[in-house]
Structure 1
C-alpha cells in the first residue's frame, strides 16, 4: 500500500533545515528529477510490476495519483485512484510499491520532483503505459 514517509522542518536564526529521518535509502539504485512542461500536463499513467518508486518534491508542489493494477494487459477502468499532494515545504516522501501506476501533475510552475528507484536503468523491462484517460476519473 502506498504511504507517506513524513519529513520535517526546523527553523532557527540560521535558516531552514528540511529533514526526513525515517526514510531508508537502502536499496535505492538510481534517481532522477521530473519537471513537467506546465501545470496542465499530466505525466502518466506509467506502471511497474516489479520496481518500487519513492517521490519527493524538491521545488514547488505536485499531485500524484496512484492506481493498483489488477491486470497488466487490460486493467480495470473502475480501479480506485489514490491521490497525494506533496510540496517542497517538508521532505515528505511518497512510497509507491510495485504493482502500481502513477500519474504526475505539477501544481506550480517550475516544480521539481525527485524520483528514486530500486532497480538500475535497463536492469529489468518493467515499464507499462496506459492512456491518461483509461481509469474512471483522473481530475
Structure 2
C-alpha cells in the first residue's frame, strides 16, 4: 500500500501571464483546505499525525521542508522511526499526498512562504483523529 505520493505540476506562460496546473491530481476526495503562513523560518510545526485522515500539501509561495514519519503505534510510537524529507517550492509545482498513518512536521525555508493544505476530513472528524507529538520526538533533517 502506498502511503504517500508526489504529483508534479507543470507551468506555462505567454504574453498573458503564467499558469500552474496539476492535470493528474484528482480533487474528488477533498472536503476542506487551509493555508499556513509561518511567522518565521525557525519555527517547526509538528509532529501531527492522523490514523485515517489524508492530506495534501502544496507550496504556493516560497519553500518548505516537509518531513514524514510512518507511525508504528499512535499511542506509544517508537523513537527510532526514520523521517522521509521532501522539499516543496513555489518555483517547482508539486503536491505531496499523505495517507493516514503518518505524522508530519514542516518549516518554511524562506520568509513569506505559504503552504496550502487539503484534507479529506471535516474539521470535526479531523479533530477526532488528531495525534500530536513533540517536535523533538524524532530526528529530521531541516
TM-score tier, shorter chain, comes to over 0.9
CA distance in 2, matches of 1:16, 1:48: 35
Root-mean-square deviation (CA, aligned residues, Å) is 1.2
Shift of 1:64: 0.4
Detail structure 1 runs of 4+ shifted over 6 Å in the superposition.
none
TM-score (structure 2 length as normaliser): 0.93
Tell me by how many angstroms 1:133 deviates: 0.6
Question: Could you list the per-position Cα deviations for residues 101-139 of structure 1 after superposition, in whole angstroms to 9, with x for gaps in the alignment?
Answer: 000100111111000000111035011000101113453
**Unmatched segments (≥5 aa) in structure 1:** none
- Correspondence for 1:50: 52
Which stretches in structure 2 are left out of the alignment for 5+ residues? none
Match of 1:114 in 2: 116
Q: TM-score, normalised by structure 1?
A: 0.95
The partner residue of 1:88 within 84, 87, 90 is 90
